Amino acid sequence: MVFDIDMIKKVYAALPGKVEATRKMLGRPLTLAEKILYAHLYAPTTTPYERGKSYVEFAPDRVAMQDATAQMALLQFMTCGRDKVAVPSTVHCDHLIQAKVGATQDLATAIDTNKEVYDFLSSISDKYGIGFWKPGAGIIHQVVLENYAFPGGMMIGTDSHTPNAGGLGMVAIGVGGADAVDVMAGLPWELKMPKLIGVKLTGKMSGWTSAKDIILKVAGILTVKGGTGAIVEYFGEGADSFSATGKGTICNMGAEIGATCSLFAYDTKMADYLKVTGRTEVAALADEVKEHLRPDAEVYADPTKYYDQVIEINLDELEPYVNGPFTPDLAWPISKFAQAVKENNWPEKLDVALIGSCTNSSYEDISRSASLAQQAIDKQLDMKSEYTITPGSEVVRYTIERDGLLNTFDQVGGVVLANACGPCIGQWARHIDDPNRKNSIITSFNRNFAKRNDGYASTHAFVASPEIVTALAIAGDLTFNPLTDKLKNKNGEEVMLDEPVGYELPPNGFEAEDAGYQAPAEDGSGVQVIVSPTSERLQLLAPFSAWEGTDLKGLKLLIKANGKCTTDHISMAGPWLKYRGHLDNISNNMLIGAINAFNDKSDTVKNSITGEYGAVPATMRDYKAHGFGAVVVGDENYGEGSSREHAAMEPRHLGVRAILVKSFARIHETNLKKQGMLGLTFANKEDYDLIQEDDTIDIDGLTTFAPGKQLTVVLHHKDGSTNEFPVNHTYNEQQIEWFKAGGALNVIRAEAAK
Ligand code: MIC
Ligand code: SF4
């Protein structure tokens, strides 16, 4: 048993009392999110928190980290003077495995090339009492769902898709590494009390439609920023009608609408999943408190009273969706997709179709997809596009191999990749004739930002359910609609694909020879953690310097970014993942994907000292060498996507002093604050237009920096004129302390030294 049953028992023992007290305090029925949040306060409260306004201190039950973010999280944790983590925590080796040939060989290569990092993560886990999931064990969110997620629990994870665990009724939130350090150090973890969006599901899915289509539709409705600062709670008879893993898919992709997390209520589907994954005891415990693991009945009766916004979806009418390209909220029902492809001139030919990943590799997903692959065989159809399968975990992989499903994929030419992120995060050595050729791929993953999968700007990536991905792979054509269209088989006959069928859970249970877990030492005090001073991949952290106590004058404009600027644009993944433990080296990718508003180019900005155009990181290093700080200006939803705190630490390390944007994505804004950076938003969004290429910038008001009080930005233009305008911030007292100290870690360290 890898999970901590005593911790779960404690949570459930306290739950009824806490829920009752909260109901009394709020004086009304409760949503599920409220029950779980108030049951996880760091210290009890006698007054309600205001949603969307109050900062709240929480005490999550668990922490999960993946290898690409754990390095920085644990390098920070090392400096806090603790002997052991305060709550159960795990590390998962999934992001650093590159997909090239196939599972076995790729895994062996990864173990070899990443040895130094894996050794570091394994030994530091051993030392501080952290469970370690070896490379090959699977993708963090799948492994968490199989082993750790439990209804009514609360966890944080250093990955934006941590909310996947909402499929088992857990409030699971993606954070940066510095937030994980708080919880592992036993300190309160702070979050603004989320708003609540209710999604009422009526009816029941059938045929080609699957859970993925619910979230693809929701993404179309809410857009990539519509969930910002909110928990999305799904309810209604439709919600109870489908599998826990389907619920997980929906919660996983809540990250794509910026939601803090997403949540389903405890039901028999969750109990079934707990049982089949070896947690009958957890299911029994949850059953005892089940009324506290669902919203109060009154909430169902009149949801608009309890949620800030309510959306209703009728599953009887829901069509399969395909979203993309380049953004996950461009949602097309399959009946309209072919036309959209034609009108927009997206490449119709499908080059590669990829299923699996943390989003969609349940037994249900795989078995339904395999049923289509089997039809291709039976109906004499070829698989026209390349086709890959990424199992989410070794447990899934072993089980689908045992049950013959991998064999079916093999027969249609499918390539099984390692149980890892691989092509989802640019860890894909794709074979393509001409990287500049406009081409289309479709995945059952969650993100489709430009360059994300293979690094090529020419690739148009779409996301859909694994069933639709498989059907389109058979057709090799994006304009194929499996619900209505026929295909020509090898004998020249016209055939149609039947609806996919599969199993929600494996009829013969899950199994694995070695799931890939390594328990930490009982007493880790003797364990040595080695970081070589000459390493290219790991670097001990030096504290950032404290604020100088004055307003910031004469800052350079580093870049005015235009349009989408996700964390992939700020700190690209793929080939750069190897430097995730080395702040100085990874800083060489800072903002190289951002588009300069003055010339529409990436990684080409004017150095105002030399007047020459150069790469963003090199320009910033030059400013730093000359003693200048700088400002980065950005557009809407800046920092959307990943939880990677490198996107905040790199500018901090290279001497950027403020990020000034129209709006932020939640995790990134917090990451900036944690690292002692100023994250500011235009009070009037049009002021973005005032910023000129040769500006120097002052930030005034810092000596009286206070919650709710605007700061002032002064632009000094090249022609001698100036503009002055107010800017907003969301810093509370504590976060202002972080800014003054030069970062949250400096505050923790100072307190530990007392
Ligand atoms: C992603 O899906 O973008 C990642 C890679 O999993 C990131 C984490 C990272 O950048 O390491 C995330 O989602 O937080
Ligand atoms: Fe890995 Fe992709 Fe899932 Fe992120 S979204 S955890 S990169 S599989």
pLDDT (tens digit per residue) in 394-408: 999 999 999 999 999
Give Cα separations from 695 to 437, 621, 733 (angstroms): 38, 18, 31
Residue 238 phi, psi (nearest 5): -60, -35
Ligand 1 neighbour 173 (Cβ under 6 A): no
When pLDDT is averaged across residues 432-459 and rounded to a whole number, the result is 96
Distance, in Å, from the CA atom of 292 to the CA atom of 729, rounded to the nearest integer, reads 37
The whole-number pLDDT of residue 745 equals 96
Distance, in Å, from the CA atom of 159 to the CA atom of 701, rounded to the nearest integer, reads 34
Give pLDDT tens digits for 94-109: 999 999 999 999 999 9
Residue 625 phi, psi (nearest 5): -60, -30
Give pLDDT tens digits for 277-306: 999 999 999 999 999 999 999 999 999 999
Residue 340: pLDDT above 80? yes
Give pLDDT tens digits for 3-40: 899 999 999 999 999 999 999 999 999 999 999 999 99
Q: Are strands 195-202 and 230-235 parallel, antiparallel or unpaired?
A: parallel
Query: Bridge partners of 632?
Result: 559, 659
Which residues, including other chains, have CB under 8 Å from residue 751's CB and lie 6 or more apart? none
Residue 382: pLDDT above 80? yes
The whole-number pLDDT of residue 615 equals 98
The whole-number pLDDT of residue 508 equals 98
Percent above pLDDT 90 for the chain: 99
Q: Which atom of ligand 2 lies nearest, measured to the CA of 425?
A: 7
Give pLDDT tens digits for 137-165: 999 999 999 999 999 999 999 999 999 99
Q: Compute, in angstroms, the gap from residue 751 CA to the centroid of ligand 1.
A: 31
Say if CB 682 and CB 711 are below 8 A apart.
no
Catalytic-labelled residue, pool 159, 329, 365, 695? 159
Ligand 1 neighbour 162 (Cβ under 6 A): no
Ligand 1 neighbour 425 (Cβ under 6 A): yes
Which among 482, 563, 463 has a CA at the least distance from the CA of 217? 463
The whole-number pLDDT of residue 698 equals 98
Which residues, including other chains, have CB under 8 Å from residue 575's CB and lie 6 or more apart? 426, 455
Residue 459: pLDDT above 90? yes
Longest dimension (CA), the chain: 80
| Residue 490 pLDDT class (50, 70, 90 cuts) | very high
Amino acid at position 368, single letter? R
Say if CB 444 and CB 355 are below 8 A apart.
yes
Number of residues in the chain? 754
Q: Which of the ligands is closest to the CA of residue 427? A: 2
Could you give the 3-state DSSP secondary structure of residue 652? Answer: helix
Handedness of CA 300, 305, 310, 313 (dihedral sign): positive
The whole-number pLDDT of residue 245 equals 98
The whole-number pLDDT of residue 467 equals 98
Residue 196 phi, psi (nearest 5): -125, 125
Q: Which atom of ligand 1 lies nearest, measured to the CA of 643?
A: 14
Handedness of CA 382, 385, 386, 390 (dihedral sign): negative
Which among 266, 311, 615, 593 has a CA at the least distance from the CA of 449? 593
Q: Which atom of ligand 2 lies nearest, measured to the CA of 359?
A: 3
Residue 124 phi, psi (nearest 5): -70, -30
Annotation says 95 is catalytic:
yes
Distance, in Å, from the CA atom of 245 to the CA atom of 229, rounded to the nearest integer, reads 24
When pLDDT is averaged across residues 572-585 and rounded to a whole number, the result is 97
The whole-number pLDDT of residue 1 equals 73
Cα(first)–Cα(last) distance of the chain, in Å?
39
Ligand 1 neighbour 453 (Cβ under 6 A): no
What's the chain's average pLDDT?
Answer: 97
Distance, in Å, from the CA atom of 126 to the CA atom of 206, rounded to the nearest integer, reads 47
Q: Which of the ligands is closest to the CA of residue 67? A: 1
Which residues, including other chains, have CB under 8 Å from residue 172's CB and lie 6 or more apart? 144, 149, 154, 155, 156, 157, 162, 163, 164, 165, 166, 251, 261
Distance, in Å, from the CA atom of 371 to the CA atom of 413, rounded to the nearest integer, reads 15
Q: Compute, in angstroms, the gap from residue 570 CA to the centroid of ligand 1.
A: 13
Give pLDDT tens digits for 686-723: 999 999 999 999 999 999 999 999 999 999 999 999 99
Which among 314, 383, 315, 318 has a CA at the least distance from the CA of 355? 383
Q: Are strands 154-157 and 171-174 parallel, antiparallel or unpaired?
A: parallel
Which residues, including other chains, have CB under 8 Å from residue 350's CB and lie 6 or more apart? 384, 385, 440, 441, 442, 472, 473, 475, 476, 477, 478
Distance, in Å, from the CA atom of 15 to the CA atom of 152, rounded to the nearest integer, reads 8
Residue 754: pLDDT above 90? no
Distance, in Å, from the CA atom of 644 to the CA atom of 191, rounded to the nearest integer, reads 17
Say if CB 308 and CB 51 are below 8 A apart.
yes
Distance, in Å, from the CA atom of 578 to the CA atom of 41, rounded to the nearest integer, reads 37
Catalytic-labelled residue, pool 94, 106, 182, 695? 94
Residue 216 phi, psi (nearest 5): -65, -35
Say if CB 204 and CB 313 are below 8 A apart.
no
Residue 366: pLDDT above 80? yes
Return the structure tokens found at 365: 């997903």
| Residue 343 pLDDT class (50, 70, 90 cuts) | very high
Say if CB 360 and CB 500 are below 8 A apart.
no
| Residue 753 pLDDT class (50, 70, 90 cuts) | confident
Ligand 1 neighbour 574 (Cβ under 6 A): no
466: preceding bond cis by omega (within 30 degrees): no
Q: Compute, in angstroms, the gap from residue 113 CA to the centroid of ligand 2.
A: 20
Distance, in Å, from the CA atom of 570 to the CA atom of 566, rounded to the nearest integer, reads 6
Percent above pLDDT 70 for the chain: 100
Q: Compute, in angstroms, the gap from residue 156 CA to the centroid of ligand 1.
A: 14
Catalytic-labelled residue, pool 40, 62, 82, 95? 95
Q: Are strands 321-323 and 459-464 parallel, antiparallel or unpaired?
A: antiparallel
Ligand 2 neighbour 469 (Cβ under 6 A): no
Distance, in Å, from the CA atom of 439 to the CA atom of 459, rounded to the nearest integer, reads 5
Q: Which residue has 């290093």 as its token pair?
A: 621
Ligand 1 neighbour 262 (Cβ under 6 A): no
Interhelix angle for 666-674 vs 646-654, to 10°?
A: 40
Ligand 2 neighbour 418 (Cβ under 6 A): no
Could you give the 3-state DSSP secondary structure of residue 598? Answer: coil
Annotation says 447 is catalytic:
yes
Distance, in Å, from the CA atom of 289 to the CA atom of 184, rounded to the nearest integer, reads 28
Distance, in Å, from the CA atom of 32 to the CA atom of 352, rounded to the nearest integer, reads 40
Neighbouring C-beta atoms of residue 372, cutoff 10 Å: 28
Q: Compute, in angstroms, the gap from residue 136 CA to the centroid of ligand 2.
A: 14
Residue 57: pLDDT above 90? yes
Protein residue with least CA distance to atom 6, ligand 1 = 159
Which residues, including other chains, have CB under 8 Å from residue 187's CB and lie 6 or more apart? 748
C-alpha 722: how far from chain center: 40
463 DSSP 8-state letter = E
Say if CB 264 and CB 251 are below 8 A apart.
yes
Ligand 2 neighbour 61 (Cβ under 6 A): no
Say if CB 715 and CB 695 are below 8 A apart.
yes
Ligand 2 neighbour 446 (Cβ under 6 A): yes
When pLDDT is averaged across residues 333-347 and rounded to a whole number, the result is 98
Annotation says 568 is catalytic:
no
CA atoms within 13 A on the CB side of 450: 13
Catalytic-labelled residue, pool 368, 644, 657, 729? 644
Distance, in Å, from the CA atom of 196 to the CA atom of 260, rounded to the nearest integer, reads 10
Annotation says 267 is catalytic:
no
Say if CB 475 and CB 350 are below 8 A apart.
yes
Ligand 2 neighbour 8 (Cβ under 6 A): no
The radius of gyration of the chain from alpha carbons, rounded to an integer in Å, stands at: 25
Query: Exposed, middle or buried by CB within 10 Å (0-12, 13-18, 19+), for 135?
Result: buried
DSSP string, 345-388: T---BEEEEEEETTTB-SHHHHHHHHHHHHHHHHTT----SEEE
When pLDDT is averaged across residues 231-254 and rounded to a whole number, the result is 98
Q: Compute, in angstroms, the gap from residue 666 CA to the centroid of ligand 2.
A: 18
Annotation says 721 is catalytic:
no
* pTM of structure: 0.97
Could you give the 3-state DSSP secondary structure of residue 459? Answer: strand
CA atoms within 13 A on the CB side of 527: 21
Which residues, including other chains, have CB under 8 Å from residue 10's CB and lie 6 or more apart? none
